[in-house]
Chains A and B, each alone.
Chain A
Amino acid sequence: MSNYEAVIGLEVHVELKTQTKIFCGCSTEFGSEPNTNVCPVCLGLPGSTIVLNKSVLEYAAKAGLALNCDISLLSKFNRKHYFYPDMPKALQISQLEIPIAIGGHLDIEVEGESKRINIHHIHMEEDAGKLTHQGDTISSALSSLVDYNRSGVPLIEIVSAPDIRSGEEAKAYLEKLKNTLEYTDVSDLRMEQGSLRCDANVSIRPVGSKEFNTKTEIKNLNSFRAVQRAIEYEIERQIEVVEEGGQVLPETRTWDESKGITVAMRVKDEPDYRGMVEPDLPPIEVTPEWVEEIRATLPELPDVKKNRFIMEHGLPAYDAEVITSSRKLAEFYEKTVALGQDAKVVSNWIMGEFLRLLNANNLEITEVKITPEYLAKLLSLVEKGTISGKIGKKVFAEMFEEGKDPEVIIKEKGLVQISDEGQLKQVIQEVMADNPKSVEDYLGGQKKAMGFLVGQVMKATKGQANPGLVNKLLQEALEELA
């Protein structure tokens, strides 16, 4: 790798989560019975004309602004022609000349270094239907079934500049992209449902060269990790080809996850899409005021939020990064802090117990029942000494599962911390009587024995004893014997 550098560009397709399709009123719902969310328009029946869904334009512009793009005040739709049964009109309506958003960027961090990845443009287009073959491919299949529910679902394609240099950078870019778009709430961003898809263009060149060499396009990338691995593999493969005196072919390659390799699908003979202006859609004109209205709907984006948490809440950079990695998590954190809790304490709980339980149960933050109000209440109870920190974690786990009020949990389970001196003194006397050897050890100068005795008291109180008080009272009781 030392003599070569990789030139990588990513094309990311994001399905917009509008209620209806891009050019008709059919539902975009995922997982409906095949061919139920269809109409003459998205089936391309003769005589049907198309109408642009305004929400699609708004969502696309919102995504563009979040990714620091300029919004085109006039943009156009074009037709891209090709015959394939998943395309009802044998053409895809896309933006080939003037896309909705141009020239953005994202700043990523790799190995502690910050780097800017430019975004060439973002365009709107329609999705195709879905083919299922009874066999391997459409040519060899006994039969093929096509479901047009997805036909006409709105997409944006985010095309990066060829600024990415490694698989790791690619993964960081995708994470940042997903993170930023999650804040805009324009898509579900679910790779497993296909609402986020990524193709990678990879080429190599000698370090210092400014040339762009023949690139390959890698498809079938089903996770960010797959993107990283496939790019790393592909870079090595291309270096090997060149080192052996061969030539990198302009291929479309597919990622084989199980074997960890890319495999040539077909040589890319630049298809002639015969791009043509879409005659059924007049050019889309928007005003600067409209763009500002859309901008005003943007929430605080992760970079800004992260800096604010560092500057205003005094969070360590690492905490701020983790907490802003998801809009929902950041909102949860902020609400809890707003209820009067200490920022670092909240951050510790969220980064600790909260994320641990989320990951352990493989849950999305939207799926948990715990609320910021109850977390704040729990933290107050710990702070006041009503329960110990350790019990707090137990209560938290229950809140996480049941969404119950921590006070109710504590009451039901009798978890209130015992701070009654009389009650504790009695337990201490019992523990000392049961463990004369330890008492002797302590009095003989072995201060370690103190810890054991505290442990016994805690055990006897099922962990509910106020540990500070136990320490103090035990000390006093032992000193009396001395």
Chain B
Amino acid sequence: MSWIEMNLSEVVGLLLGLIFTLSIFSYILGDNMMFRLATHIFIGVAAGFACSVAWQSVIFPQLVRPLLIGTNTERVFVIIPLILSVLLFMKVSRRFSFLGSPVMGFLVGTGAAVAIIGAVTGTLFPQVSATINLFDLQAIVHREENVLSQLFAGGIALIGTLTTFAYFNFGKRTIVDQLPVRFSFQKLIALTGQSFIAVTFGVLFAQILSASIVALIERVNFIWNLILPFISTLS
């Protein structure tokens, strides 16, 4: 799509995108005003957009509209959320912030309970079961996979899991008049676990670098596509 085919909003959007992209790239030269201006604008726009989304998607359709145009039943059901919302809003006042504490406690407690239950039933137990099932020969045969390779992979996973857990065991042997030291086998296990952790962090770093390189490629491609028509026109 050429510049002539674009409408004004698209052109302005592209120019703003170019300016902000260059402003962020200017950090290569060091911290400067353009970089800080761009970051501040991004943060402000994100906050404003979050507020507008909260009003448009949550507060108005689920609280205000039932009170204004909803039925009596809907109004009754939104009274309690309304009261709790008002109490939670009291947190902005130092004098009446205690009124919002119960609501805040309810929110935090409910969120923690949901997160813990989800972590236990959705991650911990299934992952432990998956680690055990790596040595399920019938399952391996059922999946028509190579038994030895699957056992090897399962063994690596098991060793990595156990040694990583052992690495975080900081218990040491206490000797009189000497500093506490780990047992030799404990050191070996911890070193193995540390190696697995290092490999994991290395993989995470490589993946993050990969995502960043892709983002950079996309921005360079955007700039190139933006200035390419001008270059073509000049040429």
Partners in one complex: no
* A contact residues vs B (CB 8 Å cutoff): none
